[in-house]
Structure 1
Amino acid sequence: MASGSQLDGKVAIVTGAANGIGRAIAHAFADEGAKVVLADIDEDAGEEVAAEISDRGGEAMFRYCDVGERLDVRNLVCAATDAHDRVDILVNNAGVVSREGDFLTLEEEEFDRIIRINLKGHFLAGQAVAQRMVAQVEEGGEPGTIINMSSINAVVAIPGQVAYAASKGGIKQLTEGMSLALAPWGIRVNAIGPGTIQTDQAETVNSDEEAKRVLLSRTPLGRIGKPSEIASIAVFLASDGASYMTGQTVYAEGGRLSLNYTALPLAKKKDGDKEKEV
């Protein structure tokens, strides 16, 4: 493990840390000297990531947490403070995509599931950690920072992921509201808005050449992003290098938002009686 310096001694909670972007962020934070508290509902994978970090000389612990459950979130924050006495960084990364595609037939329960995890989860974790951070400042400690995980879909929607886009748009506004509310204590709140990143959620692109062709046609850099590229942004936002940034969403999407057209029509591929959006 490389000796880090940007986050030396900081205590960071990362939700959704068992896989994908969350896993990459947890590793990157540990590499920069942070003590990482990983949270997820996937206990086996979460414990595995904590072990990976420890094996490389870092400091990490895992705690089960369903971010949509207030008690789980409170227990997570208590576990972090019991172990380390404080929390300096929160990365609100836990999120899911919709299992249903068609807006006209989208079930209420599925819409509620997406909002509960993606948006309510950010609120619950953000509020619980912010309360702890405010107390730390009032006790003479340094202000902390919160990083929310939004998406390019906060700006550009996908017909087959209406609930997901709504949740990510909400996270953008939640980030701005939190940043204003917490500014008096010097606590910074920013967000990251990834484009398509090579995670399990993007697995369809790997297995469907047409889907990949359409995706890359509207991505000027011509490739899919890597979790490590999002993790590097999280490290920056958590560091003193971003000390005058708050209320911002940093989009890492290969240039897609700069396009004023779609190079190819939105692809719809029949899969039985359902359509898959890409």
Structure 2
Amino acid sequence: MKVIVTGGASGIGKEVGNYLMSNSYEVISVDLEEEHGATKLDVVNEEAWNDLFQKFGPIQGLVNCAGIRTRSTILETSMATFERHLKVNVTGTWLGIKSFFKNHEAGTEGSIVNISSVNALIAVPGQAHYVASKGAVSALTKAAAIEGAPMGIRVNAIGPGAIRTPMTEERLSDPDQVSWLEGRVPLGRVGEANEIASVAKFLLSSESSYITGATVFADGGWTSNGV
């Protein structure tokens, strides 16, 4: 199975790519910059997406990991920051889905996995722009699943909880923040990126053949706790 992984140079995207390759998947890792073996791709550039599919197709799987996250209150957040989060996290995901649909081989099966967040369901202060973008990713996943089904394409999402990545490094270096998170997670710990990668592999594979339109929350039970 040949799979494109966006945001593949670091964090969850890098771990997903490595995990898939270790399980005999052919992975095209892409990122904004060419580093750690990634091919350059700006996820908000539709022409670049089409060129990617033309170069490496046919593609059977896509994992949309590329994303950004900053912290600021609504009053502190500029219009540019808000729009940038929507553009990268939502438009970038939508363009990946659109390109996959456009270039999908008729009569074959395909699977798309988007990276949402626990924050699609649980809001936290100082991240309204990020929360809004990830809520949109989960909603987009449902809509895309309906349109993809007649083409043989399943579309799902993963909602990670607190996961150790470069994006969360600063927050997780603060013992008070770690204690706050662990107090809300029934499993009582922060997750690791490989625990998201294994879910991505499951959703890409035929083992999840009757699952589409779902957001699977790999969050240690945080959403079940409701806080």
- What's the TM-score, normalizing by structure 2? 0.96
Runs of 5+ consecutive residues of structure 2 not aligned to the other structure: none
Picking from 119, 133, 158, the partner of 2:90 is 119
Q: Which amino acid aligns with 2:102?
A: Q
SS at match of 1:105: coil
Q: Which amino acid aligns with 1:158?
A: V
Distance (whole Å) between structure 2 residues aligned to residue 76 and residue 110 of structure 1: 28
Partner of 1:27: 18
Partner of 2:129: 163
Deviation for aligned residue 1:154: 0.4
Deviation for aligned residue 1:204: 2.2
Partner of 2:61: 89
Partner of 2:187: 221
Q: Deviations over 1:85-113 (max 9, x none)?
A: x1000001100002x41111210000111
RCO higher in structure (CA 8 A, sep ≥6) = 2
Distance (whole Å) between structure 2 residues aligned to residue 206 and residue 250 of structure 1: 23
SS at match of 1:158: coil
State yes or no: 1:130 paired with 2:104: no
Q: Deviations over 1:52-85 (max 9, x none)?
A: xxxxxxxxxx32011011122222222212xxxx
Q: Is the 8 A contact 1:11 1:87 kept in 2?
A: yes
Q: Is the 8 A contact 1:13 1:80 kept in 2?
A: no
Q: Is the 8 A contact 1:24 1:228 kept in 2?
A: yes
Distance (whole Å) between structure 1 residues aligned to residue 74 and residue 149 of structure 2: 38
SS at match of 1:44: coil
Deviation for aligned residue 1:206: 3.3
Runs of 4+ aligned structure 1 residues displaced above 4 Å come to: none
Please identify the structure whose Cα radius of gyration is greater.
Answer: 1
Q: Percent identity?
A: 38
Runs of 5+ consecutive residues of structure 1 not aligned to the other structure: 1-9, 48-61, 263-278
Partner of 1:180: 146
Matching of residues 248-263 of structure 1 within 5 Å:
248-260=214-226, 262=227
Partner of 1:66: 42
SS at match of 1:160: coil
SS at match of 2:164: coil
Partner of 1:78: 54
Partner of 2:159: 193
Partner of 1:103: 74
